[in-house]
Amino acid sequence: MMSHDDMIRRQRVLAEFGEFAVACDDLYEVLDKACRLISEALDAPLAKIVEIEHSNGSARVVAGVGWQDGVVGEATVSLSDRSSESYAIEHAAPLVTRDIAHETRFVFPHFLEKAGVVAMVNIPIFLPGKKPYGLLQVDDTRPRNFDDVDIECLKTYGAILGPVIDRLHKAHSLRDALDRNRRLMSELQHRVKNNLATLAALVRVRERQTDSQAARDELRFVADRMDTLHLVHERLYSSGEIDRIELGGYLQKLLENLLQLQRDDGKSVTSEIEVEEVDVAADLATPLGLIVNEFVTNSFKYAFNDRAGRLNLSLSRVDDGHVEVVLTDNGPGLQKAMNATPVSGTGMSLIEGLAQQLGATPDWECDAEGACLRLIIPLQ
């Protein structure tokens, strides 16, 4: 009869395994831990778990303790009619073999004899829905009649292992699906980026070829916005993220690109950029990039039409849920520029609409010389 101390020890080992199985996400670490703790709980030198390989009618040793090299991860057992493993799975019940040398019903794998195994017990492991996964096996190098208390202890482990294995199989499948989707999305971002770059290049070629200044302005308007969208997808692809982008670096790169395009036209404008690193959804970065594009375009059109100038961009967190974006130029000021050169209001309306997408209200009354736009944007 089991002593009180032995019973307490088994309960402690079982509790330790339960805690580990819940916390661990690696299937084979869980199975290895189960073998080690079962060996300790039953005072048996050898334990193993075999996993059914449905393709070839065998089961592979996937975890174990006490075995010689070449068994765990490599050795297989047959699931033929004369297999003790097949018998236990078919009858969905534990099977005890007190001495394999005197067992005539079954044929045992050679690696058991090599390890000096005399007695063994098979505990079938079933996944939810009674789908067989494999077996938990405890082996002893002494003749041993595993009693009812031993069997109940092992059945408890088997009952725990089934749902744990099923959970980890599903988690692995979900991770594989997620990785596959990430790869597909990354490839899509790459293709969109390349297509936008190609289209923008074609538009700029057409811009250079046309004789109409109005047409050139409209074509540049389209190409600049394509470049803004292209940069979003370039950042997403290079970062490896599906839908997150580092906003500070994106805005800095965008402003630098816009200034370079204008410098290519002989305009001398400098910039001052102060941005914090803030990770945001791509859905936030896109309209904000278009707002920056619109502000810069208007600055060159109205503030720096015939003079050099400076553009400032700042991005900072104002609390855990919002960021502040401030854009300024050192031109004559928004009202003076608009009075001197009448504008249709399309750019202002576009900024208003894009700001609404961001859940922000444009503030044009900034305390700065020239035009100033401040946005307080909730992080998505």
Contact between residue 330 and residue 259 where contact means Cβ atoms under 8 Å apart: no
User: Which neighbouring-strand residues pair with 218?
Assistant: none
* Rounded mean pLDDT, 128-138: 93
* Rounded mean pLDDT, 89-96: 94
Q: What percent of the chain has pLDDT over 70?
A: 88
Buried/exposed code over 41-67 (b: 16+ C-beta within 10 A; e: otherwise)? bbebbbbbbbbbeeeeebbbbbbbbbb
Region of 66 on the Ramachandran plot (φ > 0 left; ψ -120 to 50 alpha; else beta): left
Position 208 confidence tier, pLDDT thresholds 50, 70, 90: confident
Sheet holding 372-378, edge to edge: 269-275, 309-319, 322-329, 372-378
* Rounded mean pLDDT, 131-141: 94
What is residue 2's predicted lDDT score, i.e. its pLDDT? 66
Indicate whether 81 pLDDT > 70.
yes
What amino acid occupies position 109? Answer: P
What is residue 297's predicted lDDT score, i.e. its pLDDT? 81
User: What is the full DSSP assignment across 71-112?
Assistant: STTT-EEE-STT-HHHHHHHHTS-EEES-GGG--S----HHH
Spell out the SS3 assignment of 275-326. ECCCEEEHHHHHHHHHHHHHHHHHHHHHHCCCCCEEEEEEEEEEECCEEEEE
- Tens digit of pLDDT for each residue in 150-204? 999 899 999 999 999 999 888 888 877 777 777 766 676 677 777 777 777 888 7
What average pLDDT is seen over the chain?
Answer: 84
- Tens digit of pLDDT for each residue in 275-315? 999 888 878 888 888 898 888 888 887 777 777 788 999 99
Greater confidence, 57 or 5? 57
Size of the chain, expressed as the number of residues it contains: 380
Return the minimum-mean-pLDDT range out of 14-28, 47-61, 252-266.
Answer: 252-266
- Tens digit of pLDDT for each residue in 234-279? 766 565 666 788 888 888 888 888 887 766 566 678 889 999 998 8
Q: What percent of the chain has pLDDT over 90?
A: 34
Indicate whether 231 pLDDT > 50.
yes
What is residue 114's predicted lDDT score, i.e. its pLDDT? 92
What is residue 364's predicted lDDT score, i.e. its pLDDT? 85
- Identify the helix (H) or strand (E) that includes residue 140: strand 131-140
What is residue 59's predicted lDDT score, i.e. its pLDDT? 94
Distance from C-alpha of 112 to C-alpha of 116, rounded to nearest angstrom: 6
pLDDT winner (highest mean) among 52-56, 123-127, 189-193: 123-127
Return the minimum-mean-pLDDT range out of 128-132, 137-141, 161-165, 225-229.
Answer: 225-229
Q: What does pTM read for this prediction? A: 0.54
